Structure 1
Amino acid sequence: MSPARALRWRQVRGDLRHDAAVNVALVVVVALSACLMGTGAMVMERLLSSVDRLFEVAQPPHFLQMHKGEVDLAALTRFADRHPEIESWFVEEMVGFDGAALAWERPATGASGDLGESLIDNLFVAQNETFDRLVDAADAAPVPEDGEVYVPVAYQESIGLQVGDLLTVATSSGPRTWEVRGFVRDAQMASSLSSATRFVVSESDLAALTAAGGGQPEVIVEYLLTDPGLASDLERAYAADPALPKNGQAVTYTMIRTLHAISDGLAAVALVLVAALLIAIALLVIRFVVRGRLEDDVRQIGAMRAIGIPARDIGRVYLTRYSLLAAVGCAVGGALAVLAVPLLTRGVQTHYGAAAAGGRGTLVLLVALAAVALVVVLGCRRALRLVRRVEVVDALVHGSTLDRRQSRRRARRQARRARRTSLAGARGGVTRRLALIDLRADARQWSLVPVVFFLCAFLMGLPAHLLSTLESPRFLTYMGAPQVDVRADLQLADDLEALRTDLTAALTADDRVADVQVHALVLADVEAPDGRRTVRVEVGEGAAQGIEMIDGAAPGPGEIALSLLNAEELQAAVGDTLTIHEGDQSRSVVVSGVYQDVTSGGKTAKMHGDPPPGATGYTFFVDLAEGVDPVALAASYDERFEDVTVLPMTAYVEQTMTHVTSAFRATAVLATAFGLGVATLITVTFLQLRLARERRAMGTLSAVGFSTAEILGQLRGKTAATAAVGAVLGAVGAVTLGGPVLDVLVASAGVGLAHLELAPDPWVATGGAVALVAAAWLAAVGLTVRLRGASTSTWLRD
């Protein structure tokens, strides 16, 4: 090792021992940043890897078309023969039951329950042989015997079903019971945002269940292509062929993957955002510490410059120190990330299986840690530019990092402040006046505290406010539904029209109900520039009323409102005319508005008018009279009408968004803990450096008669005041600036949202600011309490 390098490392070791507490604080902040960045990156990698592995094993279709009704197999065969890009295809037969028709029992303990509160369609199928297989934990495609059923893993997770339980389905011919033999993962319907899920039974049991009645027969026409990228072209060709079955939703491979990524990947994105805020805090702290260290070592730097050591070599000494701290912090953060990822990906493993073994996860972690380290080191290099501006004379004579012009400018400012400052008659006492003077004189130094607390408050507030937005009744408008008290869904029943009439009459006659809107769900072919598209349309009086439009207005007679994704796919804007084909008839409608919707793959539409006959389902939106309990009313109607799913709207939102909200709840808790911890840590680090620098000033105050309590009170007051400014501004910023940040994320996600208006929780905003100020105050008290008995000689001693 060369003498210069040996000298550098000796200097680094000495510096590390000298500022041990500050160095530990820097390592902790960098470690937390690296932990969150690495965890977010690895969670996303595990999710994508697990989805890829499940897709590889299960082979979901590249394009599928759901359908209720008769199927023309000859037309499907002709279509497949005309499209050589189709590698394989088949028609999967299913029978769907409402959750209220499904019950379970555990013979060993006598426990029992039902699936009545489940909103999703429960579809019974036989195992597919060629592709779109439903697989178990061992990635095998189980084929049950008669009397056996394999249940979706979602029900294993949500209601705790076990192997050996009995599952009973109420049919028109009486109950039918199966023994639960295992659980299956569904590559096509595994997403928490999916509207259906599949149970696997034997082929003979499926035929018997269909014949028993009480369920709704459905089919899925599925296609496996030579190139998944051709799915959109095939979808357009399929929609343009009038002979093909299409009385249902069409889904592409890309839509399936997007739903998986959105429902389980948002938490990873939130972790990365929190990590970015922590990195910003780390850069501020490093800048403060580096500049403070340079000011303390200015005479040594001046001496080294005087004997001819280049500024670049001097900077390398400091850069080596902080690079080493960054490396240690990233190593610790990486180890924490490795421990945290299994805890955060349990749900991913349950729904999609374990990620494929390989080095991609390690590579992603290393890239994330390297990015954090690079940002920190570059921040240090930027702060160390001050070394090049140090002039030898000023450093050795005046002990200042400023050049002569800057020194004269500072001296003039201090002289002006001294002339304006008067302690005589100071309001609030001399102690408070001195604290304000000190804050004004050292504003650049003290600015670190409010900036850090601003970022911490923002870090704590944004995930919490997003969680409250997802759980608020207002979020219904982003799900294509108005803000009402109760929602009833009628889809899987033998006689939809009769049941609709009975339910409408019951709700209309109920004095607890203030208003009822009945919307029919129909499927219509719409002419698009590149061919026909099948669109899911909700038809009813007042359709889209109460839903916020991002452009235009709710539809009137002869008009249609489109969801954002449908408007983009159909290349339609407000005022355009669309041609809609309904059976043998067609008509023109005008686009009245565009709204946001995350349900049904984000592709829906709404039209004004009377519900037409022959709809595929009905949705009832119910407003209640004042004082009526939505939970009680929903329970009474759910029990009275077995084939109707009736839920309070709050429960509907919770059930639909359960995976997303639970992930963000964990992220909000984590962000709060990290925010408070980082704020406390930075406060302690900052005050340690300030105490070392202000030791003589405090001794002077003690010598002229100020008590130790007054001197420490000044420091604590300055800390609390600056922290309060930053915390309040951060709480406000999380509300005002959080919306635009989220808009960028949701608009780029491609899930049917362009604008997400936050519904902030005032208790969260207030409580977060108060908690941060309390943390700052307690940190200041805890750090200075040991100085209560300090004497004047103690303050003035070097």
Structure 2
Amino acid sequence: MFIKILKKDIKRKKAMNIILSLFMIVASMLIASSTSLLYTTTTALQHFKQVSETSDNLIVTFSSPENDRRMLEWGRKCRKVKEISSEDMILALAEKITIPSEGRKLEDGATLTVAKIPVKNNLVFNEKEELFELKAGEAALPNIIRESAGLKIGDTVKISIGDVEKELLVKHFLKDVLFGSGLMGLKRIIVSDEDYDDFHGTEDKSIIKLWSVMKTETATYEEVEKEFSKTSISSISTFNSKTISYTYIMDLTTAAIMSILSIFLIFISFLILRFTIRFTIEEDYKEIGIMKAVGLKNRAIKNIYLVKYFAIALLGGSLGFVASIPFSGFLKDNISQNIMMTTGILNYFLAGLSSVLVIAATLLFCYLCTGRINKMTAIDAIRQGSIGERFSASRKLKLHNTGYISTPVFMAVSDLVTGFRKFIVLMLTFIMGTLIIIVPINDINTLASDDVVTLFGLAHSDFNLRPDGYGVSYREAGVERLMDYTYSIEMEMEKKGFDTDIHPEIMFMTKIYAGNPDDSRNILGMQAYGYPTGNYAYLKGTPPKLENELALTEKTAGYFGIGIGDSVNCIEKNGTKKYIVTALFQSMNNLGHSVRFSEEHIMDMQDSSAFTLFGEFKDKENKTGQFNALKEKFPELKIRNSREYVDSFMGNISGQIDIIKAIILIVVLSINFLITCLLVRMLLTKETADVALLKALGFKNGDIRKWQAVRIMIILVVSVILGTLLANLTGSYLSSGIFNFMGATHIKLNIEPLQVYLLYPIIILAVTMTAVLISLGQVRSTNIWEINNQE
């Protein structure tokens, strides 16, 4: 009997059942794929670190006899350290790496090094996730070079270090757990032992040491870092095995966002199910009344409906699980370029379990929604579903008082005023859909804006540049030579008609503590020359001006439990020096742990790890035109805008979010389209007699369609406005998790009015109204004699 009823219902409500099935398929696909992806990415990192034999703690320093001796001595004496070893890496300037086939230099913002294949710790793998060997004349490149230069296996690159120049065949692309993340600014190019020895033989080279520290069983990563921070040994970077996982945060974010999108879609599916079930039950008042009259119990009647929704849930869950396999593969491909991924039987089990839970939750929800059957009686069949009583006026609007609008528009507004409840599901869907579209757009616009550098503790700039050899040359030359060179660039630009103000920004690792020397920490130091500290953004306090003043990030101040007016101690080569905290700021550099010194602070340039020149146009008119012209006139200076600068050391994060945004946009627009089609068809089915009556009264098909369309359009416009306002008001809180983790404790999203208030609302409106027009074809086929139509 159930099968016969199911077949009849499927034929009778074909469009409605197809749309519900599509919802279940997409919901099941997204939840299954995101569950599998989330499990894969979270476990893959641990697996990647294990097979790579990652060291517990890692310290990167410039190599010198004195520095190397002190590092070995510290490793031997520190009771928290079980073993210490090192690998040499030769600094390779990006401008000294060329692509012979295209005759151009490599343009990359990361710090590149040349190294041998590691054999003990911190192993590297090829694109097939296998260990590999290299012959003389072959190289394995990091993925960031493949992406930025458009290289592929079989291409050649020419690397010049000192007086040694080699043309190498690209044999592999690396999966490097230490430096593979886009957030890691240091990258290594792997070459054969023979080629490395040739590069190492030149006198004009800079050696970087990668120190691998294995801690004792009882020690923690943090304890080892604190022991090192007590020394005055200068370092480029310090991190540990736990910190490495944090650098892959953007890869994990993809899985997390897809999970949130899945939950959103399931929530919408349940709203639609509730609306559909209640609509179907109210439409079937005659059948339910007759079944109760012949003695069928409520449970038996409910089971008839549950059979249908069990079939839809089972079909949707099964097809969704099957579709999740290639879809999760697509998402993994976008991540697995950097991470060594593993896919086992457990992935499929979790995906299948997610689909089963979706089916079970759907059935439970459907059962709860059939409670309306308990209240229906046999008399409802006689009264055509109505109890025959009304206790309020049927109209809150009067047509004769609204002569300024047409009759179809009046009818639409009147329906919304008197029967708003039946449109709540549609409004909630549109609001949530708008919210989930606008928030990522604001995030992307923030990362792509000119002010994005302020999130990294830097000042606003119109451009930045990094000339050939810049940084390495001036580590030895000192501040005066650096400022002379900066001034010479300004003069060259002025000769060609560009009035600019350029200053150097220097970054270096330093060690500070507040009260207890045993609680010291390595943090990133930042300092500019020839540029007032008052030009930077601060959360609280006043800019540091004196030599013994500095500004701390809010995250670092919270770590030490100090604030403005307190003092901190910096461990320097010549001893410990006390500074007063005059301001707090935010920075996503070094995961939020940074310090800014005043202009008066005297630093040892040899301790610096990064140099960049930032510039502003004194003429504030047509900055975009000036930037393009400047870039064309000075190609050798590698001039970039803020987004290009951020992408250079964080990887193409905005590009990854662009992909996620595209997926979200497609899914949400599809949801809007399907829900609109479903709701309009259901309303037309319920209002068949009303449409027939309007035709009998002389209304044209166009007027009836206008009545139906205006209702949806009003709901849509109001929902988009509310969703946009909600996204802009709450977007900072919704996005704060990832930004706070990286150190931006007070994020202000960049809202592009044309996109947020015009472009995307128009897209949503166009897609939704297209669904309305497609669904209104039933109006033409409705005949006058269907006024008393009762199936």
Normalised to the residue count of structure 2, the TM-score between the two structures is 0.89
1:340 Cα shift? 1.6
* Mapped partners of 1:526, 1:718: distance in 2: 64
2:405 and 2:67 mapped to 1: Cα distance?
88
Whole-angstrom CA distance in 2 between matches of 1:135 and 1:789: 65
Residue 56 of structure 1 deviates from its aligned partner by 2.5
Report what 2:420 is aligned to: 443
Equivalent residue for 1:28, pick from 14, 18, 22: 22
Q: Which moved more, 1:278-287 or 1:249-258?
A: 278-287
- Tell me the CA shift for residue 359 of structure 1: 1.8
Instruction: Indicate the SS of the match to 2:125.
Output: coil
Q: CA deviation at 1:520?
A: 3.0
1:506 aligns with 2:488: yes
Do the aligned partners of residues 317 and 789 (structure 1) sit closer, same or farther apart at CA in structure 2, a change above 3 Å counting?
A: closer
Alignment of 1:580-595 (within 5 A): 580-595=570-585
- Which AA in structure 1 matches 2:767? A
* Structure 1 portions without partners, runs of 5+: 1-6
- Give the CA deviation at 1:263: 2.8
Cα distance per residue 1:172-223 (max 9 Å; x no partner)? 4353444444333211000011101101234454354245244432112111
Is residue 781 of structure 1 aligned with residue 773 of structure 2? Answer: yes
Q: What is residue 762 of structure 2 aligned with on the other side? A: 770
Distance 1:543 1:335 in 2: 60
Q: State the match for 2:383 in structure 1.
A: 398
Q: 1:102 to 1:568 in 2, by over 3 A?
A: farther
In 1, Cα distance between equivalents of 2:767 and 2:739 = 33
Partner of 1:732: 725
TM-score, structure 1 normalization: 0.88
CA spacing shift, 1:202–1:396, aligned 2, 3 Å: closer
Paired with 2:774 and 2:654, the residues of 1 have a C-alpha distance of 37
State the identity as a percent: 16
Cα drift, residue 138 of structure 1 = 4.9
Structure 2 counterparts to residues 410-449 of structure 1, below 5 A = 411-415=390-394, 417=395, 421-423=398-400, 426-449=403-426
Aligned to 1:516: 502
Structure 2 residue aligned with 1:124: 114
Deviations 1:139-172 (A, max 9, x none): 4544544444332233234323345544333344
Structure 1 residues 620 and 369: alpha-carbon distance in aligned structure 2, compared to 1, 3 A threshold: same
Over 3 Å counting, the alpha-carbon distance change for 1:173 and 1:536 in structure 2 is same
Which residue identity lines up with residue 376 of structure 1 in the other structure?
Answer: T
Correspondences of 1:632-643 after superposition (within 5 Å): 632-634=629-631, 639=636
Q: Deviations over 1:424-469 (max 9, x none)?
A: 6633133332332223222111333322222222232222222222
What secondary structure is seen at the aligned counterpart in 1 of 2:220?
Answer: helix
Q: Tell me which residue corresponds to 1:688.
A: 681
> How many residues align structurally?
768
Aligned counterpart for 1:67 among listed residues 61, 69, 80 = 61
Cα contact 2:684–2:778 (8 A) shared by 1:
no
Matched AA of 2:309: Y
What is the CA deviation profile of residues 471-493 of structure 1, one whole-angstrom value per residue up to 9, with x for unaligned ones?
11222222222220122354333
Q: 1:104 aligns with which of 99, 110, 129?
A: 99
The whole-number CA distance in structure 2 between the counterparts of 1:47 and 1:467 is 23
Say whether the 8 Å CA contact 2:647–2:653 is kept in structure 1: no
CA distance in 2: counterparts of 1:317 and 1:126, whole angstroms? 70
Distance in 1 between residues matched to 2:402 and 2:584, nearest whole Å: 64
CA distance in 2 between counterparts of 1:310 and 1:546 reads 77
Q: Which stretches of structure 1, 4 residues or more, deviate above 6 A after TM superposition?
A: none
State how far apart, in whole Å, the 2-side matches of 1:322 and 1:240 are. Answer: 66
Q: 1:673 to 1:496 in 2, by over 3 A?
A: farther
Give yes or no for contact 1:239–1:246 (8 Å, CA) kept in 2: no
Pairs within 5 Å for 1:713-732: 713-732=706-725
- State the one-letter code of the partner of 1:536: L
Deviation at 1:11, TM superposition (A): 3.8
Q: Is the 8 A contact 1:193 1:259 kept in 2?
A: yes
Paired residues of 2:183 and 2:651 also in contact (CA < 8 A): no
* Partner SS, residue 232 of structure 1: helix
Amino acid at match of 1:701: L
> How far off is 1:578 after superposition?
0.8
How far apart are the structure 1 equivalents of 2:416 and 2:348? 47
Partner of 1:19: 13
Residue 29 (structure 2) pairs with residue 42 (structure 1): no
Counterpart for residue 566 of structure 1: 556
Counterpart of 1:4? none
Give the drift of 1:32.
1.8
Aligned residue for 2:314, secondary structure, equals helix
How many Å separate the matches in 2 of 1:739 and 1:522?
31
Matched residue, 1:364 = 350
Partner secondary structure for residue 247 of structure 1: coil
Amino acid at match of 1:98: L
Name whichever of 420-429 and 654-663 sits farther off: 420-429
Q: Please tell me whether the aligned partners of residues 263 and 659 of structure 1 are also in contact (alpha carbons under 8 angstroms).
A: no
Residue 328 (1) aligns with residue 315 (2): yes
**SS at 1:579 equivalent:** strand
CA distance in 2, matches of 1:604, 1:425: 64
User: Which whole-Å CA distance do the structure 2 matches of 1:339 and 1:533 have between them?
Assistant: 45
| Aligned residue identity for 2:744 | L
Quick check: 2:116–2:193 contact (8 Å CA) kept in 1?
Answer: yes
1:169 is aligned to 2:159: yes
Amino acid at match of 1:384: T
- Selected match of 1:114 from 98, 105, 108: 105
SS of the residue 1:345 aligns to: helix
1:361 is displaced (CA, Å) by 1.5
Kept in 2, the 8 Å contact 1:31–1:330? The answer is yes
> Which residue of 151, 160, 163 maps to 2:141?
151
What SS does the aligned partner of 1:493 have?
A: helix
- Residues 477, 546 of structure 1: 8 Å contact kept: no
2:306 pairs with 1:319:
yes
* Stretch moving more, 179-188 or 477-486: 179-188
Judged with a 3 Å threshold, the aligned counterparts in structure 2 of structure 1 residues 358 and 321 are, in CA distance, closer, same or farther, namely: same
Q: 2:652 aligns with which of 659, 663, 670?
A: 659
Partner of 1:734, secondary structure, is helix
Matched residue SS, 1:111: coil
1:741 deviates by 1.3
| Aligned counterpart in structure 1 of residue 331 of structure 2, from 344, 365, 390 | 344
Q: CA deviation at 1:53?
A: 3.7
Q: Distance in 2 between matches of 1:322 and 1:341?
A: 27
Alignment CA distance shift 1:17-1:789 (3 Å): closer
User: Shift of residue 372 of structure 1?
Assistant: 3.6
- SS at structure 2 position matched to 1:672: helix
Deviation at 1:81, TM superposition (A): 4.4
Deviation at 1:499, TM superposition (A): 5.5
> Does residue 95 of the first structure (1) align with residue 74 of the second (2)?
no
State the match for 1:474 in structure 2: 451
Partner Cα separation in structure 2 for residue 547 and residue 14 of structure 1: 71
Counterpart for residue 595 of structure 2:
605
C-alpha distance in 2 between matches for 1:320 and 1:298: 18
**How big is each residue's C-alpha offset from its partner over 1:630-661, in whole Å with a ceiling of 9 and x where there is no partner?**
24435655626xxxx64332321343444322
In 2, the alpha carbon distance for the partners of 1:391 and 1:648 equals 67
CA contact (8 A) 1:539 1:610 kept: no
Q: Distance in 1 between matches of 2:162 and 2:222?
A: 40
Which residue is 1:282 aligned to?
269
RMSD (Å) for aligned C-alpha atoms: 3.0
Q: Counterpart in 2 of 1:256?
A: 244
CA contact (8 A) 2:274 2:366 kept: yes
